[in-house]
Structure 1
């Protein structure tokens, strides 16, 4: 078969291609993924930029070195750059970092001892999402002559950008503009919400956070950092277990957090029943709506707080790190928005300009992706090489999902599959873009369990946990793009040749 639409992308190439602000990176073979997880020297030479919360951006490294020279920081320390002084305080309080030296910069700067402490602080920042913008670093470096040029890209007018962004989200979520708050990353939006929940609910003796479903890795890490007590219900279908727990401890629960649909198995909880439980015990419901998008599912009757990673479908091009908190005006807690918004940092203006330019096509992009996803699912369900397909309208979740659909084509743009053929061979043969992230206009594959939970794959205890939560090791998550659907299907047809 001769498919010229999708071509092999060498390991380490940015996704999107030739974009210094890209948040994804090509990992075309499963061995590339394994080498990345094991941090082999060979792979680190190839992969110099990737998801900014996981790998320090090249411009941030350059800027850190420049500031070490500028402030004559000795070699025993490393410089870490953050989005603001607010971020510095959050990190310093956790790790008791007290810099006697003042860094006079319009962003956050801390110095940390090399070695173990440096790595621990970096991991903590990964969870909090207070990352310094690569565009801010670029502008700084260009101004001081450390880089020769700025990346050429389309930006919305500076005076209109924030209004466009906020008003688009407000209209999409059917909320007033003052109920929308921007964050430097989706993970930071989640952190700010959980921090606000803790501050509010601790006064009422509500100290237990309930996680419903196997949530995204860093969401669970934030919970572990900030909540002494948390309860996880891995299976979103077994609300009887949650109900029994709430009968005993419902008045201790500060909030319930879940993803709609879940990542990566694309399952949808019975939201009507869940909301009734929340109402009974006066518990706020936090929904990560990144997969749902405001254009696929209507969550307005259920969510007290939405969190969306705008880096995904809202951007569509995987070149802006940004998130948003949206408070439901019908919620009992919407009047205390300051508790959720006060921890947030304003994203860098050029990130806002870029996102405002991209978000204008948000609805159109989602509708095209939804249409493609429906056709791809129909194909995959009949394909002889497929073992199992996980998608929004799988039989176990059809009724739950259909209640929320905005129209008949509102299919979430994520499909996860397992194969009857060797996973490594299948993964290596496909020429789609392959790497972290999702929601892109280009079809993007990710070997989810390998990239998100490699530590579980390589341990016996971890393998047992994966089996317990029903997460297959050899799972391929497909973020469906806007390309011609026949070209997408033809690329998958190559698996028949194996």
Structure 2
């Protein structure tokens, strides 16, 4: 039977992409699903077994952990946490003063922690620093010892070419030398590695303040709070006057500024020319998370000392590889200390690189198609009466800063956020796009951003007041625009419009 629409409901807990055990997203088709997940309701936790690997332990990692507990005769008073390397074990052990006498003879990291509070604290810390063990590594291990019967059916690049394909693609995109690029097992591990390096540099030169410019991704903020005694947050990236006043009053104390271009989820862009001038004036390192921009939409080369990108997003496009990258900008002569920034990263698992190498070949083509669809969707969405406000690259108050960075008129960030004042739950539930965490996918992907990212703030008066202060609406849907036929995307929004009448 032929469907009238290409979009259809996806059951709660199904992987996104579907039927992929290495998916980094999962379907949460109703607002109740999201709330139940945030409140850790037992019924929904049974459904959601595969999701973003830094937030939910992958079933293969759970199975491997149980196997290793038996193999090494670990007491039931303890849980095993699996990490990307032995280096990662040292990072976690030193932070929490965990010193296991027992040595696990594995090629990856294994740490033994007490059940209960310590276990939960360590899991949360690993979420921040991104030293996650690859689900593909766990899959290979379990398959080799006969605990699973099949491997995921997926196409992979040849091992000997994989890493070079990824790095060469990024080098061409960022117009940078390959030796100034380092891969990491996640975007957060890349950010952690940069911030850890800056912390070490701080110890040598006496500068103590790290500035977060804009409302940054939550786990970036958490890393900053763990590693910097002195940090300052400026929530509004469009107001550099306040930042400049602070820098004047804190000369020789500010080490670095970290910002996202554009910001998540309101897609705001700072005046990078002026920001760069401030960094030069006060000798400050500027770190830019370029995940939303991508190196194919915006020319950020004249501004950042260091780029960090979550390759899990647009570079992958299929939401089935967790990986990040650090790109040092040779223009600003920071590469002479590149080892300081690279040494904290772990090398991604080879099969993750094989998969990424295959997907990153279409990076530029994918971004250009997404940008084209985004432009048409921005023009279309104001015709829908149920949308109260739209946040995009083309916002009037934002566009001048964004326009100055564009390679051409079609270089639009593939993220649009929409505020729905009335009937939010009804509209979110009715839309049949894929709905779940993450972004940058070839399939259009929706997320009720504030509910999934900041549910704790929604649930308190103080939290809601803070959301108002930073102008982050509760009833917000972040749209990661896909490469589907734009008319089909519009048709789905129109279908919901007709059902509301």
Q: TM-score range by the shorter chain?
A: over 0.9
CA distance in 2, matches of 1:326, 1:492: 38
Q: Report the counterpart of residue 355 of structure 2 in structure 1.
A: 354
The answer to whether the Cα contact below 8 Å between 1:3 and 1:491 also exists between their aligned partners in 2 is no
2:383 and 2:48 mapped to 1: Cα distance?
A: 37
Q: Deviations over 1:228-272 (max 9, x none)?
A: 000000011111100000001131111000000000000000000
Output aligned runs, 1:412-431, within 5 Å: 412-431=413-432
- Structure 2: distance between partners of 1:77 and 1:134: 22
Match of 2:125 in 1: 124
The count of residues paired between Structure 1 and Structure 2 equals 497
1:24 deviation in Å? Answer: 0.0
What is the correspondence of 1:253-402 to structure 2 with a 5 Å cutoff?
A: 253-402=254-403
Match of 2:174 in 1: 173
TM-superposed CA distance for 1:202, in Å, is 2.5
Hey, what does 1:139 align to over in structure 2?
Answer: 140
Matches within 5 A, 1:216-255: 216-255=217-256
Between the aligned partners of 1:176 and 1:142, the Cα distance in structure 2 is 38
In the TM superposition, what whole-angstrom CA distance separates every residue of 1:95-146 from its partner, at most 9, and x where no partner exists? 1111100000000000100001000000000000000000000000000111
CA distance in 2, matches of 1:280, 1:473: 38
- SS of the aligned residue for 1:285 comes to strand
Q: Structure 2: which 5+ runs fail to align? A: none
Give distance in 1, aligned partners of 2:18 and 2:284.
44
State the distance in 2 between where 1:290 and 1:71 align. Answer: 41
CA contact under 8 A between 2:421 and 2:475: conserved in structure 1?
Answer: no
What residue in structure 1 maps to residue 487 of structure 2?
Answer: 486
Q: Report the equivalent of 2:194.
A: 193
Instruction: Tell whether the 8 Å contact from 1:183 to 1:347 is kept in structure 2 after alignment.
Output: yes
- C-alpha root-mean-square deviation of aligned residues, in Å? 0.7
| TM-score in terms of structure 1 length | 0.99
CA distance in 2, matches of 1:225, 1:198: 11
Distance in 2, Cα, partners of 1:493 & 1:226: 48
CA distance in 2, matches of 1:130, 1:204: 28
Q: Does the 8 A contact of 1:385 with 1:495 survive in 2?
A: no
Give SS of 2:79's match.
strand
CA distance in 1, matches of 2:333, 2:179: 16
Partner secondary structure for residue 325 of structure 1: strand
Deviation at 1:277, TM superposition (A): 0.4
User: Structure 1 segments of 4 or more deviating over 4 A?
Assistant: none
Shift of 1:421: 3.1
The answer on 1:407 being equivalent to 2:408 is yes
Contact 1:435 1:446 in 2 (8 A): yes
Equivalent residues of 1:198, 1:254 under 8 A apart:
no
Return 274-283 or 382-391, whichever deviates more. Answer: 382-391
CA distance in 2, matches of 1:383, 1:136: 46
SS at match of 2:190: helix
What TM-score do you get using the length of structure 2 for normalisation?
0.98
1:28 aligns with 2:29: yes
Aligned equivalents of 1:66, 1:86: Cα separation in 2:
22
2:95 aligns to what?
A: 94
CA contact (8 A) 1:445 1:479 kept: yes
> Which 5+ residue runs of structure 1 have no aligned equivalent?
none
Distance in 2, Cα, partners of 1:97 & 1:250: 39
Tell me the equivalent position of 1:160. Answer: 161
Q: Which residue does the alignment assign to 2:11? A: 10
Shift of 1:420: 4.2
How far did 1:42 drift? 0.4
Q: 1:458 deviation in Å?
A: 0.3
SS of aligned partner of 1:251: coil
The one-character-per-residue Cα deviations of 1:293-346 (angstroms, maximum 9, x if unpaired) are 000000000010000000000000000000000000111322100000000110
Secondary structure of 2:315's counterpart equals coil
Query: In structure 2, what is the Cα distance between the partners aligned to 1:60 and 1:89?
Result: 20
User: 2:189 and 2:4 mapped to 1: Cα distance?
Assistant: 40
Q: Give yes or no for contact 1:15–1:433 (8 Å, CA) kept in 2.
A: yes
Native 8 Å contact 1:3 1:487 kept in 2: no
| Partner SS for 1:91 | helix
